[in-house]
Structure 1
């Protein structure tokens, strides 16, 4: 599901809201999650999962095309861990 499909789905389920307001709400939620992660915070959505940031140290990588060694800088990457309810729903089917 893309962001625009999510907005459309929410707008269809809430006909009393303007499409532009639903779009603003979804964008604000994503922006707040992104801002929290950029600040090094963890974002937990109970029953869905938790977003956090993991640090990867610098390392020596390899160019797969040439086999040449390449220095890879350290970096921060987003990480998502599913919540218990989501895992159960995925493993027991959508009918639960």
Structure 2
């Protein structure tokens, strides 16, 4: 059995069919959830979903790197990036 990547549309279909919601309403709910999640992270907040996991923004320090294909050193500026730490229930669910 081949693994399949689930898309946003697949998630919307699953929510609609399992909850009895109209597909349009499920799409609206998913869109609003993702929008609020992005807004919270952009504001520097963590989003903790108990049992599922925590979304947060992490910081990378500025560092020196090497330009690919050369030996030229370049400065890589500090940056922020989104990160996810799975919760205990999610870890247990996917454990094999």
Uncovered stretches (5+) of structure 1, i.e. residues with no partner = none
Report the counterpart of residue 78 of structure 1 in structure 2. Answer: 82
Uncovered stretches (5+) of structure 2, i.e. residues with no partner = 1-5
Report the counterpart of residue 60 of structure 1 in structure 2. Answer: 64
Distance 1:5 1:68 in 2: 45
Return structure 1 stretches of 4+ with deviation > 4 angstroms. none
What is the TM-score when the length of structure 2 is the normalising length?
Answer: 0.86
2:55 is the alignment partner of 1:44:
no
Shift of 1:64: 2.5
Report the counterpart of residue 32 of structure 1 in structure 2. Answer: 36
2:32 is the alignment partner of 1:23:
no
Secondary structure of the 1:24 match is helix
Shift of 1:66: 2.2
* Cα root mean square deviation, aligned: 1.3
Distance 1:14 1:88 in 2: 24
Shift of 1:72: 1.0
Secondary structure of the 2:34 match is helix
Secondary structure of the 1:66 match is coil
Secondary structure of the 1:41 match is coil
Shift of 1:40: 0.4
Number of residue-to-residue matches in the alignment? 91
